[in-house]
Structure formats: C-alpha cells, structure tokens
Amino acid sequence: MSSRQSVKPAPVHSRILVPQLYHRQPVISRLVSRYGLTVNIKAASLVSGSDGEGWFDLDLLGKPQQVTNGLSYLQGLGVMVQVAIANHIQLNQNSHPFPNTSNENIPLESTHWQEKFPQQTSQQETQRLSLQLCILQNYYEKPIISQLVSRYHLTVNIISATLQPNQKNDGWFDLDLWGKTKQIYSSLTYLEKLGLPIWLK
C-alpha cells in the first residue's frame, strides 16, 4: 500500500446557516443518509420556533465527491454554506433554551425508555421519539448524531441546539428520532452506554 493510499482525508470545515423554513427538516441527517458523510457538529445555535436563522459549524468527512454532493444539496435548499470558517464566533447569549428540566421530561433509565415501546409493539413499526440529549465536553470530537443516522439508520431532526465553540460547555440538543422500534431501542442503548445525559419527552 502506498503512503498516498493510507492518508486519511481531512474533514472539510464549514458553517451552514439554516433558514426558518428548514428548522424542522432533517437537513444534517440527510448529509449522512443520502451522501454517506460523517458529520461532526462542532458548534451550533438553533432556537425552536424562532423566525431567525439557525447555524451549525460542521466537520464533513467523506470522499471529495461525497462532500461536493452534500454541499450542493445544502446550496440547492437555499442553505448558506461557508467553507473553512473560523470557529471563534460567540453564541447569542439569549438563545439557550437548555437544559430543559421540566417535570414532563423523563430522565433516561432503561425502564423508562422501554415503557415508551410496549412489548406488543412490533419491532418493525415506525416510531417517533422526542428527546433532549446532552453532549458532554469529552465527546465533542465524536460524531454522536451522525452515528445515530449511519449506524442505526434513524432519521434525526434537530429541533433546537446549543453548542459553544472550543468545548467551553456541554452541548444540548432537542431531537426527534424516526425509525423502527428496534433501531430506536438500539440507539438509546448506545447513548446509554456512552453515559450521555438524556431526557425523554
């Protein structure tokens, strides 16, 4: 094997500005499922119900054609894309809806999330699960949400997001997961094993 073949491609750093029209669309999830990219969210600010744009700083990892196709998809939606941006932009201090510790949310424990899917529910039935996920600082370099799509074949819609640059604080995401019951079971087990705090809604 030549040294050229063994070189791992560097991620493409980009910022995307997501207009309000696409706030409830699984835009980032599709970069993984449709274009085969690994997407790591490095920073984010998206407020549910806001009229303004949300933004995500992304590391996109894949073959050059996959990255090109993914970026073309975003541009086709009208999502503004800035490539190779600096990551020292501060979040809007008024856009922190997390953590949500409402009594309506259920801290993740096996018995709780299993109750969401009764035993008589078909493992092949499509389900929707809303949850809040905390990305701890030591997991910033791991594409957790991307893994939910590529490994467990879920559609993941990011409803709200707060993740500061440079690992200043833990990140918080409100997510809608869509998939077969078995896939959602497996994904929750994966998150549980990582020790990431989760609240079911």
Amino acid code (one letter) for 136: L
Strand partners, 45: 55, 162
Last residue of a domain, one of 51, 83, 115: 83
- In the chain the first and final C-alpha atoms are separated, in Å, by 50
Give the pLDDT of residue 114.
Answer: 59
130 vs 50 pLDDT, higher one: 130
Average pLDDT of 126-150? 91
Same-domain status, 137 and 177: yes
Is 89 within a domain? no
pTM of the model: 0.79
Is 91 within a domain? no
Q: What is the CATH number of the domain that holds 156?
A: 3.30.70.260
Same-domain status, 39 and 121: no
Same-domain status, 53 and 126: no
Is 127 within a domain? yes
State the pLDDT confidence band at 125, using cuts at 50, 70 and 90.
Answer: confident
Least confident interval from 60-69, 88-97, 153-162, 183-192: 88-97
Give the pLDDT of residue 127.
Answer: 87
Same-domain status, 58 and 138: no
Q: How far apart are CA 70 and CA 78, in angstroms?
A: 13
Same-domain status, 189 and 120: yes
Q: State the average pLDDT for the chain.
A: 80
* Residue 23 C-alpha from the chain's centroid: 13
State the pLDDT confidence band at 94, using cuts at 50, 70 and 90.
Answer: very low
Is 90 within a domain? no
Is 101 within a domain? no
Domain residues for the domain of 175 are 106-200
State the pLDDT confidence band at 144, using cuts at 50, 70 and 90.
Answer: very high
Q: How far apart are CA 170 and CA 65, in angstroms?
A: 33
Give the pLDDT of residue 130.
Answer: 93
Domain count across the chain: 2
- Encode pLDDT of 100-111 as tens digits: 444 344 444 444
CA distances, 169 to each of 2, 20, 99, 113, 147 (Å):
41, 26, 12, 27, 22
Residues 6+ apart with CB under 8 A from 86: none
